[in-house]
Copies of this chain bind each other. A is one copy, B any other.
Amino acid sequence: MHRAVIIGGGFGGLYAARALKNDNVSITLVDRRNFHLFQPLLYQVATGALSPGEIASPLRVLLRKQKNAQVLLADAVDLDPTARSLILDKGEIPYDSLIVSTGAHHFYFGHEDSWEPVAPGLKSLEDATRIRHKILYAFEAAEREPDPDTRRRWLTFVIVGAGPTGVELAGALAEIANDSLRHDFRSIHPEESRILLLDTSPRVLTAFPESLSAAAERQLLRLGVRVKPSVRVTAIDADGVTYYTSTGSSERIEAHTVLWAAGVKPSPWGEILARRTEAKLDRTGRVIVNADLTIPGHPEIFVIGDLAYREQDGAPLPGIAPVAMQEGRYAASVIVNRLNGQTPKPFSYFDKGYLAVVGRNSGVGVIGGLKLHGFIAWFVWLFVHLMYLAQALNRVLVFLRWGYQYVTFYRGARLITGDDDPSGHQEKPR
Taking the full assembly, how many copies of this chain does it contain?
A: 2
In the assembled complex, the Cα of A200 lies from the Cα of B286 at a distance in Å of 59
Report whether A415 and B89 are in contact in the complex, using a CB–CB cutoff of 8 Å.
no
5 CB contacts below 8 A, A to B, read A58-B184, A72-B143, A89-B429, A90-B430, A393-B401
Chain B residues with CB under 8 A of A137: 73
Within 8 A of B (CB), among A1-58: 33-35, 51-54, 56, 58
A387 at interface, CB cutoff 8 A: no
Chain B residues with CB under 8 A of A72: 143-144
Stretch at the interface among A205-213, A289-297, A316-324, A406-414: A406-414
Chain B residues with CB under 8 A of A428: 75, 89
Total chain A interface residues with beta-carbon distance under 8 A? 54
Q: Contact string, A222-251, partner B, CB cutoff 8 A, digits 1/0?
A: 000000000000000000000000000000
Report whether B393 and A140 are in contact in the complex, using a CB–CB cutoff of 8 Å.
no
From B54, B91, B412, A394 is in contact (CB under 8 Å) with B412
Residue of B nearest to A186 (CB): B70
Report whether A415 and B58 are in contact in the complex, using a CB–CB cutoff of 8 Å.
yes
Residue of B nearest to A185 (CB): B60
Report whether B60 and A184 are in contact in the complex, using a CB–CB cutoff of 8 Å.
yes
From B58, B125, B400, A400 is in contact (CB under 8 Å) with B400
From B89, B126, B136, B410, A417 is in contact (CB under 8 Å) with B126
In the assembled complex, the Cα of A413 lies from the Cα of B137 at a distance in Å of 25
